[in-house]
Chain A
Amino acid sequence: MLDPLINTVRDSIRYQGRTQQWMWVAHRVSGIGILLFLVLHVFGMSNAYFNPEMHELMLETYKTPLFSISELALAACLIFHAVNGTRIAILELRPQLWDKQEVATKWALIITALLALPTILIMAAHSISVFMAK
């Protein structure tokens, strides 16, 4: 029952694909993370109609320290998944660009860092200033 899982994990380690393979793994992991968050988020937002007290309670919960730190991780996952996904979409819809795969990967990582670092810094500064004021 678990044979496909064991075989796949073992062969993934044996493949030694380096950066390109890590991008593929990170794309999967970030995708699952975003999906899990999204289910919780849509449930919370739909309570704006179904159960406004629950909606308000969830909005207040998002301001607690645990969630404030988790949303930094969410920002990183989202920006990486978006930028890397754009690289995948462009290169797969335009096969004539395939010889630029390594360059595209490098730029995907650079752009992810350029977008994610200010985002995380601004969000963290906002959270820290709010918590310090308390």
Chain B
Amino acid sequence: MASIPAPTGRTVRQIKPLPKARNNFERIAWMFMRYSGLALVFLSLSHFWMQHLIIGTHNIQVGDTVLRWGETGKAVTFENIIWRAYYAVMLGLAMLHGLNGLRQITTDYFRGNVYKIIMGAAVVLIGLVSVGGFVALAAGATLVTK
């Protein structure tokens, strides 16, 4: 913005635009937490209520997983794809949302090596579990062989 001459004839201080950030990570993480959180409200509450209120915890059987995910090696139905996509989206968003939340909490209370240890362990643990979850969703459920 160029200087604007004031009524007295003296020029006014030039107003500079905000500088462009060099590192957008925090801003993107902030947006992700809000938007993924809103999506997760629907995903996680529907999942929780379906399992605990509609089905009931004590009525959950091993066979239900096979019915929804499909069986390993068998052909995948349209229903299987919908269930797997629903769980996969929920898994990915929830793990990233949780991991970033943990990062925010850890930076508040720990710095330096303790922070690195905590976040390193969390990334490894959550990463392994998530990869396992995605692999299991892609492969389908195995029947229990007695």
Contact = CB atoms under 8 A, between A and B. Distances in A.
Interface extent on B, as a size class?
35 or more
B65 A45 contact: yes
Interface string B89-106: 001001100100110010
A95 B141 CA distance: 46
A92 B144 contact: no
Contact of A39 (B60, B72, B125): B125
B110 A42 contact: no
A94 B57 CA distance: 39
Contacts of B112: 1
Interface in A1-26: 1-2, 4-5, 8
B98 A49 contact: no
A45 B34 contact: no
Interface stretch (B12-20, B21-29, B129-137): B129-137
A86 B144 contact: no
A102 interface: no
A79 B44 CA distance: 10
Nearest to A47: B136
Given A1-B114, A79-B45, A8 B105 contact: no
Interface of B: 34-35, 37-38, 40-41, 44-45, 48-49, 52-53, 56-58, 60-62, 65-66, 69, 72, 91, 94-95, 98, 101-102, 105, 108-114, 125-126, 129-130, 132-133, 135-136, 139-145
Given A32-B102, A45-B133, 10 more contacts: A4-B110, A32-B101, A38-B95, A42-B132, A46-B129, A46-B132, A49-B139, A50-B142, A52-B62, A86-B38
Interface of A: 1-2, 4-5, 8, 28, 31-32, 34-35, 38-39, 42-43, 45-50, 52-53, 55-56, 59, 62-63, 68, 71, 75, 78-79, 82, 85-86, 88-89, 92-93, 119, 122-123, 126-127, 130
